[in-house]
Amino acid sequence: MEKMNFASKIEELIANTPLYYPHRWLQDQGISEAKFFVKLENFNPTGSVKDRAALGMILDLEEKGMLKEGGTIIEPTSGNTGIGLAAIAAARGYRAILALPDSMSTERRSLLKAYGAELVLTPGADGMKGAIREVQRLLEEIPGAVTLGQFVNQANPQYHEKTTGLEILRDCPEIDVLISGVGTGGTLTGVARAVRKQKASLEVIAVEPDTSAVLSGEAAGKHGIQGIGPGFVPDTLDTKQIDKVIKVSTDEAAAATRSFVRSEGLLLGISSGAALSAGLNLLRDPLYYGKTIVTIMPDSGDRYLSTGIYD
């Protein structure tokens, strides 16, 4: 009998996502001969990059003895971390309680419920700060409950350093520029640290919403780019890794998302569109001609269908 190759645990399906050259999209944007690649994190089991962070932080809590079978995890989430957490919690026998702003899409809420998570909605106007406050209250009420603390837990960027960053180095060792939207900052921080150990000249571009441009020194505000722009600078973001910040409007992000989906046939979310919009800025800048650019595509678009961005 020939040897079979298969996975038997959800964690074995996380990571090793493909690097993709979007040639049709680049052509449709009037760009030729660009060395522009996107890392498709929607290929993770629940459709987003946050599967990595959720797994890394859960493994860290288990290793420290803080999380045992049947335990309860409570987490503030804008959606994707919660989806990854809920899936992994279901597979490992944990109870998941998730606090999220009521401004998050209905698809995200439905996905969370599908995995068996319990939802606590907070006012959208309060942003992630409101969800974080609710988690602190619940932690005091529920004995033995733990939180991943995705905005402060260094296991978040560390897991990206061990996986995402090394994958990019493996698949694209000639990388010159990294573009990443910033939510917790774990992806940008971890990838930048890993790549710079091999290539110190790497330029790192952070992407944030133009109406909540905290990294640019402006005030927090409402925006429509779900998954980035939490309205504060998280502890998991190493700002020293950032060389430049590009601000993107919700309309720009939505337009880039639509154009990519219709050119490439790959359904991505609006935070991917924000990163693509930033990428277009660089591709049209003579300073970046000939540079090899890798852009993180955080998630699938299936959780944004009700938002109208594909209309």
Q: Which of 271, 272, 277, 300 is catalytic?
A: 271
Handedness of CA 200, 237, 290, 287 (dihedral sign): negative
CB 76 within 8 A of CB 127: no
Active site residue 35: no
Active site residue 199: no
CB 18 within 8 A of CB 275: no
Structure tokens at 230: 């939490």
157-178 exposure pattern, b = at least 16 Cβ within 10 A, e = fewer:
bbbbbebbbbbbbeebeebbbb
- The number of residues in the chain equals 311
| Radius of gyration from C-alpha coordinates of the chain | 19
Q: Which of 35, 39, 48, 50 is catalytic?
A: 50
Secondary element (H or E) of residue 49:
none
Q: What is the dihedral of CA 302, 305, 309, 311, to 10 degrees?
A: 120
The residues annotated as belonging to the active site are: 50, 271
